[in-house]
Amino acid sequence: MTIIKDDDWVLKDIQEVEEEAMRVIRNSAEHNLVLAGPGAGKTELLAQKACFLIETGKCRNKKIIALSFKKDAAKNLQDRVNSRLDSKYRHKFESTTFDAFCKSIVDRFKSTIPESYRPSNDYEIIFPNNNDLVEDIKREAVGFEGLTSEELNKLQPYNFEENYIVTPYDKALEHSVDGRIRRFVWLHLLKPKSRLSFKMINFLANYIISRNQYLSNAINSTYDYAFIDEFQDTTYRQYEIFKSIFLGKKIKITAVGDTKQRIMGWAGAMHNAFDVFKKDFGIEQPNELVSNRRSLKNLINYQRMMEAFMNHADIKPDMMLIENEGSAKLLQFDESSIEGAYIALCIQQWIAEGVNERDICILLRNPAKQYTDDIISALQYLKIQCRLENEYQDLLNEAVVQLLLQMLMFVCNRKSIESWATTMELLCNIRGVSKRGDVTRLEKELSQFIKSHRVIKEEIVDYLYSLLSIFGVDKIKSYFPQYMSGNGLEYSIELLSRHLDKLDVKENTSEAIDLLLGNKTIPLMTIHKSKGLEFRKVIVVGLEPGAYFGKEEEQIENQKTVFVAFSRAIEEVLMTRCKIRNNSYGRSFKQNFNDIPLITNMITYCGIEAESYPG
């Protein structure tokens, strides 16, 4: 490996970063805590730092691991680094999610877990806050250590996992009703074929890490540096694992986040993650990035006004609107049908002006039908496709799904140089091929394999497995750590096959791929799923009490949620609210916008007054 001197190293594929960012990039000897607002280039910062550390030989014999909380964020960072590094060095950077990292620990070291709490090798992933599981527990737990139906009837799906699965052990409560319920739930989910949630996996990973010095040493001998993205979303339990792995070790941490974008309190995010990290890891002063490379100037100014309002600033920032430098408005409608029709016409106009459908996004705090149905119906009337992205995001970021979609594109003669090279690189790595002659023969084999799969004759799920046969399913499981144990690979393939079946992939393969990828489709998603993304046009639906309910602490987080939504936009933000909207039972109710003053007053503070739309 050719080592570049520190002074000779230059940024990759970009011209410049702000001075504070360059300090972080070149700091290889200490921990870093980076506070970075919307559009500051957090992903680019981490990608450049990875390139610096690898190309200057700072981790010559070890690797860098990057942990994110979302699959798409982990993939974006890996792709960014891969596009900037020579392929010979890409193996030195691993970007994964926190959940996948914990899963790999459990998969490799579960033999160290006491047998009564050890999951089976074929465990499946579940999401336990659902009614079916809770009703199952209510039935099956009767009689366990004396539990009665009356004692079990109090169980509810909401927060079931937090209250009865991953609650820390308390010996004083061991024989209480709750203690016995927790013990039954674990035993019930673990045997005979185990069912684990990611929080259970995190819980087990922490158990392993805290008791396994060999694992701690193995992590230390593998990695020199660790990156943590969106650090403000770290939960208390995740931070305990994080400390168990990294505190007191030689691995240097770079944590990046933004307190103004802490909107995952409902999921257990720490209230003071940055302060705790500074104290534990001995950081005197964080690095703060102030530039916004995403939004146009007017939108940047609006965001600074919001920040000033949220921080209770003594002096209100100046606000000077500049023509053609971004716009924002808040429209008030009498009812949701008028709101939906207006939004659809706006989108139709933007598309007519040349805006790509994927550059427009509809954001909501709550994707319930009272906020989405009228919009989707109005768009369908105008023959514009729209879909809720939440259910597709995780699937499309699965490694095996990306591989299968790439293979399907080859089947349709949609082959780019980059995609073919990526697939060949994977195939060579899995087959252990490196010599030029062997690579050429393998490329011919892949070409012939693609030709033999032009027509889908069997069941779609069987066809997908046949597409993987050239790689080998077992070898794919070994290559991608997230599939080493459990049913993750099988689950992803089954889910993909169901989607492709609905899209008639047998008759229209190319069109089905486009529809699944969301091409020519307006994305509609929850605000917390939009973090890290950007769009030319953003529509924030339902800034009203029915969506942004909650007590004082929740209202502070709601305010930050609106800020996150607003800051996704490059050019234009349209915010909406309705005087009358149906509730989840279909009954209409009138709303008083003064019930959410932290949001309404913040928008007014920015100089954005609600405009009533007559309909």
Residues making up the binding site for ATP: 36-43
535 SS3 class: strand
- Which H/E stretch holds residue 521? strand 521-526
404 SS3 class: helix
Q: What is the sign, positive or negative, of the torsion defined by CA atoms of 347, 73, 527, 604? A: negative
**10 Å Cβ neighbour count for 299?**
25
Enter the DSSP assignment of 529: G
Distance of alpha carbon 497 from alpha carbon 506, whole angstroms: 11
- Which H/E stretch holds residue 493? helix 488-502
Give the tokens for residue 39: 């559009």
Give the tokens for residue 584: 């989840």
Distance of alpha carbon 461 from alpha carbon 490, whole angstroms: 10
In SS3 terms, 68-132 reads as ECCHHHHHHHHHHHHHHCCHHHHHHEEEEEHHHHHHHHHHHHHHHCCHHHCCCCCCEECCCCCHH
Burial class of 283 by CB neighbour count within 10 A (0 to 12, 13 to 18, 19+)? middle
Distance of alpha carbon 134 from alpha carbon 104, whole angstroms: 28
Q: Answer left, alpha or beta for residue 186, where phi above 0 means left and psi between -120 and 50 means alpha.
A: alpha
Q: Closest Cα partner for 404 from 426, 389, 386?
A: 426
Spell 88-112 as b/e; 16+ CB within 10 A means b. eebebbbbbbbbbbbbbbbbebbee
Helices of type H across 311-389: 336-352, 369-381
CA 186 to the chain's CA centroid: 27
Distance of alpha carbon 279 from alpha carbon 262, whole angstroms: 19
Q: Closest Cα partner for 589 from 335, 398, 409, 404?
A: 335
CB 536 within 8 A of CB 570: yes
Q: Which residues, 6+ apart, have CB-to-CB distance to 238 below 8 Å?
A: 98, 202
- Please enumerate, by residue number, every residue annotated as part of a binding site: 36-43
Q: Closest Cα partner for 77 from 59, 92, 93, 91?
A: 93
Enter the DSSP assignment of 525: E
Distance of alpha carbon 138 from alpha carbon 140, whole angstroms: 6
- Which H/E stretch holds residue 33? strand 32-36
Q: Which amino acid is at 80?
A: R
Give backbone dihedrals phi and psi of 229, rounded to 5 degrees, phi first.
-95, 155
- Which H/E stretch holds residue 252? strand 252-257
Angle (CA) 73 203 397, round 5° = 25
